Structure 1
Amino acid sequence: MEIELWLLAVMALVAVFTGFLDSVAGGGGLVMMPSLLFAGLPPSLALGTNKVQSLAATTMAFRNYSRAGLVEWRKEKWLALIAFVGAVAGSLMVQQISTRVLELVVPLLLMGVAAYVIFSPRMDDTKSHELVTRKGYAPVGGAIGFYDGFFGPGAGGFFAASLVGLRGEGLTAATGHAKLFNMTTNVASVIVFALGGKVIWTLGLCMAVGAMTGSWIGSKFAVKHGAKLIRPLLVTISLLLTAKLLYGWFFPG
């Protein structure tokens, strides 16, 4: 598929914005995906190409959170591997079946995330008692990984909220670990979509440059301001994604 130069530039600029969102609260996919579809990409190519820029954004965010000492990646590597396997399964399945059911279920989950962030006194940077062990969290991480490979929007918020609620992590550290898991799920998805010929590499790599730029800015802001920045953005993004998905369900096309 031939992509004009002006479109490469426009999508790279859009990726700056979505990279910022993804690095702080997640949800950039529901900005990027409509943009790619509006540009004329078929849904399968839009999904695969979007994963390339998403991988670039989460990798940059992971780097900055890790350098700030907020990611214990050696302790979390097995959970990241489980999320990777889940994403492989999800990416394979999404190429076979419709996403219609998820488009209704996901808004309910996102509303739950928003409600938890708003009303839970633990959604800050203080640690609390963990409700499940690292091994106990594995099925949750695998399920979110599967969702990220299958559909994707809001996965970072699901990771962060579940790490706070179940593992007792502070919100900024949970967001850092969410980027580790997101990075591995995006690696899985890019591999699967690339092997299926569902990636436009010229466009994806141009968007990746923009996404890395936005992610660098966003993750630096998040590390500096912590829960004061992440909490309101997580609520806002969750509610906006909810509205967008519900609108798409009731008014398709």
Structure 2
Amino acid sequence: MFEVSFEILLILLAAGFIAGFVDSIAGGGGLIALPAMLLAGVPPLTALATNKIQGLFGAATAAYSYAKGGHVDLRKQLRPACISFIASIAGALLVSQLPTDLIRWFLPLLLVGVALFFAFQRGLNDEDKERRMSPFVFSASMVPLIAAYDGLLGPGTGSFFMLAFVSLAGYGILKATAHTKLLNCASNAGALLAFAFVATPFWMTGLAMGVAQIFGARLGASLAQKIGARLIKPLLVFTTLAMAAKLLWDLI
């Protein structure tokens, strides 16, 4: 039934739970789930595609949890989510056309910059700040740009959405986290659709990990709503720096 052994499946379920927990708070769940699948012997392209399956469940659960808590109106996010879905497919289709190797070298530096912003920028809390970009312009520019990157490469997508919501939309940390999840869910779905044509995901394993993600995401979103920026900021900084370190390690 499952594409991996029972022992490996248990390890991947644990990785899915932890990934869902971390991703629901600060993003970066793929930093846990993807290496776990690679260490389990899943081929790289298959692991990337399977990661999108299980990531869908965590992002969707987190989006629902934050909406239930009153931190985001999912109906108002339907249009940006559709843009995110389409842009992610476009990004995946552009893999062979864009200099992805060059982007991989630049990406760790960009992630470190994001981490430093959240670590040292004063006044970052759960209070909304001045908006620098209207919702329409934000949806027409930042959403497709970041979602296309998710389809193209992927690591750090949640961090980039967070940075955009905080620095341009003027959202507080908790509100930015809540608004990131549905867009990230949509970009995962678009990337998965594109991957399905070029890879063979482990569907049953991905679905099982997705169930584990649901439980992890529910716990993470609940804690984030109770503690807010005091939990989200340090975890966001840590996961972003960890992603940068892993990407540099892979390049060396």
TM range (shorter): over 0.9
Question: What residue in structure 2 maps to residue 80 of structure 1?
Answer: 81
Question: What residue in structure 2 maps to residue 28 of structure 1?
Answer: 29
Deviations 1:57-99 (A, max 9, x none): 0011011001001112233322222211111112233478784
In 2, Cα distance between equivalents of 1:197 and 1:53: 16
Question: What residue in structure 2 maps to residue 91 of structure 1?
Answer: 92
Tell me if the contact between 2:45 and 2:199 (Cα under 8 Å) persists in the aligned partners: no
Query: Is 1:110–2:111 an aligned residue pair?
Result: yes
Given the alignment, which residue of 170, 178, 181 partners 1:179?
A: 181
Report the CA distance shift for 1:47/1:97 in structure 2 as closer, same or farther (over 3 A).
farther
Structure 1 residue 121 displacement after superposition: 2.1
Where 2:28 maps in the other structure, the secondary structure is coil
Letter of the 1:78 counterpart: R
In 2, Cα distance between equivalents of 1:10 and 1:194: 24
Where 1:101 maps in the other structure, the secondary structure is helix
Query: Is 1:53–2:54 an aligned residue pair?
Result: yes
191-200 or 58-67, which moves further after superposition? 191-200
Unpaired runs of 5+ residues, structure 1, are none
204-213 or 117-126, which moves further after superposition? 117-126
Question: What residue in structure 2 maps to residue 247 of structure 1?
Answer: 249
In 1, Cα distance between equivalents of 2:85 and 2:3: 31
In 2, Cα distance between equivalents of 1:72 and 1:87: 22
Tell me if the contact between 2:3 and 2:205 (Cα under 8 Å) persists in the aligned partners: no
Given the alignment, which residue of 215, 218, 222 partners 1:213?
A: 215
Where 2:94 maps in the other structure, the secondary structure is helix
Deviations 1:168-193 (A, max 9, x none): 01110110000011111112122222
- The percent of aligned pairs where both chains have the same amino acid is 38
Letter of the 2:109 counterpart: L
In 2, Cα distance between equivalents of 1:157 and 1:247: 20
Letter of the 1:39 counterpart: A
Unpaired runs of 5+ residues, structure 2, are none
In 1, Cα distance between equivalents of 2:94 and 2:215: 31
In 2, Cα distance between equivalents of 1:234 and 1:52: 23
Question: What residue in structure 2 maps to residue 169 of structure 1?
Answer: 171
In 2, Cα distance between equivalents of 1:14 and 1:99: 27
Where 1:100 maps in the other structure, the secondary structure is helix
27-36 or 194-203, which moves further after superposition? 194-203
Tell me if the contact between 1:44 and 1:95 (Cα under 8 Å) persists in the aligned partners: no
Number of equivalences: 250
Superposed CA RMSD in Å reads 1.8
Deviations 1:97-124 (A, max 9, x none): 7843332121111111111112222421
Letter of the 1:241 counterpart: M
Q: Which runs of 4 or more aligned residues in structure 1 lie more than 6 Å from their structure 2 counterparts after TM superposition?
A: 95-98
Given the alignment, which residue of 211, 231, 234 partners 1:232?
A: 234
In 2, Cα distance between equivalents of 1:122 and 1:198: 46
Structure 1 residue 11 displacement after superposition: 0.5
Structure 1 residue 162 displacement after superposition: 1.0
1:191-210 equivalences under 5 Å are 191-210=193-212
What is the TM-score with the length of structure 2 in the denominator? 0.93
Structure 1 residue 223 displacement after superposition: 0.9
Letter of the 1:85 counterpart: I
Given the alignment, which residue of 151, 154, 157 partners 1:155?
A: 157
Tell me if the contact between 1:160 and 1:178 (Cα under 8 Å) persists in the aligned partners: yes
